[in-house]
Amino acid sequence: MAEVGVYEGDFAAFVLERCDGISKYYMIDPWRHLDGWNKPANENDPAFERLFQVAKARTEFAGTRRMILRSKTTEVIDLISDGELDFAYIDGDHSLRGIAIDLIRMYPKVRTGGFLGRDDFSRTMLQHRTSFEPTLVFAFAVYFAEAVGAALYALPNLQFCLHKTPDPEFCFVDLTGQYNELSLRSQLAPEKLLKISLAERFPVLRRIGRKTREVTQHSRLV
């Protein structure tokens, strides 16, 4: 197995503790400040060093099975053989650049019949403030799965699982009922972008909108 974007090692520790059958677990994360990565998680080097030490400590019990690769995906991906992985899980850079690099470079490392999962499978492009790069995990993952002929499953909690099937044929299976629109058109509607911009400029509008939705939902229940 491989995990891209380990952070504090919570997920790695959880999986390694419960899955004795995993003989090798690649932990891929640069744990350093990256120029050009315009996301809130891009902290300074001392902060990343602390996170790295926490991740190491949390997975020390599986020291003979883990392989720590403290680098970007592009810097260490060739250390993993094509078709070596049964499963890969990606939770790194959520920008279009990041998800494109991670999916394209990691997919060949997964064996035919294996799986590739990912976090933050959200239709919302602007996961953070508009001063940050948009989040395009959802859009790229769908188009990527279609391009390579994989089965893509939308899971609860904004997760997805991509199945590298023996007979490449794309299908999208929504197990949540929340992904009724696969295009980006609604995300780029002028009125939606204006609403987001106003909410950032005037936070009180966001609070009013949230309160209005709560009252409306309560009225429906009553």
Task: Give residue limits of the domains in the chain.
Answer: 2-183, 189-222
Least confident of 16-25, 39-48, 101-110: 39-48
Task: Tell me whether residue 159 is exposed, middle or buried, using C-beta atoms within 10 angstroms of its C-beta: 0 to 12, 13 to 18, 19 or more.
Answer: middle
Q: Average pLDDT for residues 91-115, to the nearest whole number?
A: 94
Distance CA 162, CA 68 (A): 24
Confidence of residue 222 (pLDDT cuts 50, 70, 90): low
Q: Note whether 77 and 104 are within 8 A (CB).
A: no
Distance CA 152, CA 107 (A): 13
Q: Torsion-angle region of residue 149: left (phi > 0), alpha (psi -120 to 50) or beta? A: left
Is the per-residue pLDDT at 221 higher than 60? no
Is domain 2-183 given the CATH code 3.30.70.100 in the classification? no
42 to 71, 119, 194, 210: CA distances (angstroms): 14, 17, 27, 29
Q: Average pLDDT for residues 176-202, to the nearest whole number?
A: 76
Nearest to 100 by CA among 139, 130, 133: 139
